[in-house]
Amino acid sequence: MPQETALVSGAAGFIGSHLAERLLHENFNVIGLDSFTDYYAREVKEKNVRTARAHPHFTFIEADLRTADLRALITRHNIRYIFHLAGQAGVRPSWGSDFQPYVERNILATQALLEAVVNLPAQSQIEKFVFAGSSSVYGDAERFPTSEDDLPRPLSPYGVTKLAAEHLCFLYAKQFGLPVVALRYFSVYGPRQRPDMWIHVFMDALLHGKTIRVFGDGEQTRELTYVSDIVNANLLALHAPNGAPHLYNIGGGTRATLNAVLEMLGEMASTQPRLEYVARAAGDHRHGAADISRAQHELGYEPRVALGEGLRKQYEWQREQIADGR
């Protein structure tokens, strides 16, 4: 029988749904919370969480972190671990009038959850609070690979709100002793990847015989991290040392240009991708590479899925979605 209960916010999302399933496999009770924001289709998220919903030790709650009675929820379900993955994603849409949801869902929602946690009764204290951060906080970093000690310089409003949420977590950790572990994810990919993310977009265009639009010259680099490696890092975070809040880069061990990824995808599809290069988008950083030595030494984290293997898994998944009419 499951011995511990974990809350996963954003449980119907790309990473959250994978994490919920892994926790169930590891014999946790899981409370999955999601508000089904309108950033992309609800039906996609419903499919993401379908497997977890069928599990007897999974409870799904549709709620907004800003308005839910989180203190009562945590107490009622005897939650001991929180994985906070909920938030408003997307670098390019975060400019202009669309900025407000980023403030509400990345900053205010995080603050509401933190307030609930630090006001719990003594018998309901949280043992670990794991925050899903983003490599977007680094912007155009001064050195590569980039370490956690390098100064964040986000290039997008999205990156600013993710950094603000991370700082809030550390503030509450230092003020109230909350056991926070923040993980800065680098370019996560794999099955269930959000439909707006560039690898998903590239594969979808390739599978439908459409022209692929590339922002910039395609020589920008990204550290690509397969979703199961991200999930492993979250589980390892539960064993982070107690005491001060902890921050870790989580990367996949492979840095590649967009052009190199396109070449690999063309080989998978046995075709030559049709490409259209357009101006670099506002907020896009030029290069990304993670120094993961801290996570390796303190958590025992090691990326396990090579880029070619991971891209093949996502490609096959997307191809199956099309074949099934999804």
For residue 281, what pLDDT band results from cuts at 50, 70 and 90?
confident
For every residue of 84-152, DSSP letters joined together read E------SGGGSGGGGHHHIIIIIIHHHHHHHHHHTS-GGG--SEEEEEEEGGGG-S-SSSSBPTTSPP
Q: Which residue has the tokens 């945590």?
A: 74
The DSSP call for residue 290 is B
For residue 1, what pLDDT band results from cuts at 50, 70 and 90?
low
- What pLDDT is stored for residue 142 in this prediction? 83
For residue 97, what pLDDT band results from cuts at 50, 70 and 90?
confident
The mean pLDDT of 78-104, rounded to a whole number, is 94
**Which residues are bridge partners to 278 per DSSP?**
215
Identify residue 262 by its one-letter amino acid code.
L
**Alpha-helix residue ranges (DSSP H) falling in 144-292:** 157-176, 198-207, 227-237, 258-269
Distances (CA, A) of 187 to 213, 223, 258, 302, 304: 19, 6, 12, 16, 15
- The kind and range of the H/E element at 25 are helix 14-25
Tokens of 180: 């926070």
* Contact present, 27 and 21 (Cβ < 8 Å): no
pTM score above 0.85: yes
Active site residues: 158
Q: What is the pLDDT of residues 244-256, one digit of tens each?
A: 899 999 999 989 9
Residues of the chain with pLDDT > 70: what percent? Answer: 99
Quote the Cα angle for 183-189-192, to 5°.
Answer: 110
Whether omega for the bond prior to residue 56 falls within 30 degrees of 0, making it cis, is no
Query: Which of 14-23, 134-143, 225-234, 310-319 is predicted with the least confidence, judged by mean pLDDT?
Result: 134-143
The mean pLDDT of 268-293, rounded to a whole number, is 91
Q: What is the pLDDT of residues 45-75, one digit of tens each?
A: 999 999 999 999 999 999 999 999 999 999 9
Q: Which residues of 90-115 are buried (b: 16+ CB within 10 A; e: fewer)?
A: bbebbeeeebebbbbbbbebbbbbbe
| Phi-psi domain of 256 (left: phi exceeds 0; alpha: psi -120 through 50; beta: other) | beta
Distances (CA, A) of 260 to 30, 47, 90, 256, 288: 39, 31, 23, 6, 15
Query: Is a pLDDT exceeding 80 seen at residue 326?
Result: no
* Contact present, 177 and 114 (Cβ < 8 Å): no
- What pLDDT is stored for residue 2 in this prediction? 61
Tokens of 92: 């390019």
Q: Which residue has the tokens 């922002």?
A: 215
What the chain holds in terms of domains, given with CATH numbers, is 5-323 (3.40.50.720)
- What pLDDT is stored for residue 242 in this prediction? 83
- What pLDDT is stored for residue 243 in this prediction? 79
